[in-house]
């Protein structure tokens, strides 16, 4: 496993406006996501990442998000091992100050 790049929430918010190949994946559980998630994020609970990984385009850059950053780091590490270009959002949704959608 290589080093996983971490991106701070404000940087992610700025890059989402500029980069077309950036995809945010929220790995929290359904009940957590129901309280709000980053606009345009794709919801894939952590446990489903291995079975759904082949549905993801390897040419994209995936940024994984969870509540605090631990579960998303697990997802990012797994996807990195599978050859995907990934980052983890440091601090998770606890640090996100941008808009959320319900």
Pairing state between β 22-26 and 61-65: parallel
Catalytic residue among 66, 73, 79, 93: 66
How far apart CA 15 and CA 51 sit, in angstroms, is 28
- Taking the C-alpha atoms of residue 102 and residue 93, their distance in angstroms, rounded to an integer, is 14
Q: Is 66 a catalytic residue?
A: yes
Please give the positions annotated as active site. Answer: 66
């Amino acid at each position: 496993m290589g080093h996983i790049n971490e991106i701070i929430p404000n940087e992610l918010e700025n890059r989402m406006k500029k980069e077309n190949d950036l995809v945010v994946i929220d790995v929290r559980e359904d009940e957590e996501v129901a309280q709000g998630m980053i606009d345009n994020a794709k919801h894939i609970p952590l446990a489903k990442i291995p079975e759904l990984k082949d549905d993801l385009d390897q040419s994209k850059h995936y940024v994984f998000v969870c509540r605090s950053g631990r579960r998303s780091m697990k997802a990012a590490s797994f996807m990195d091992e599978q050859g995907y270009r990934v980052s983890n959002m440091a601090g998770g949704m606890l640090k996100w100050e941008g808009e959320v959608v319900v």
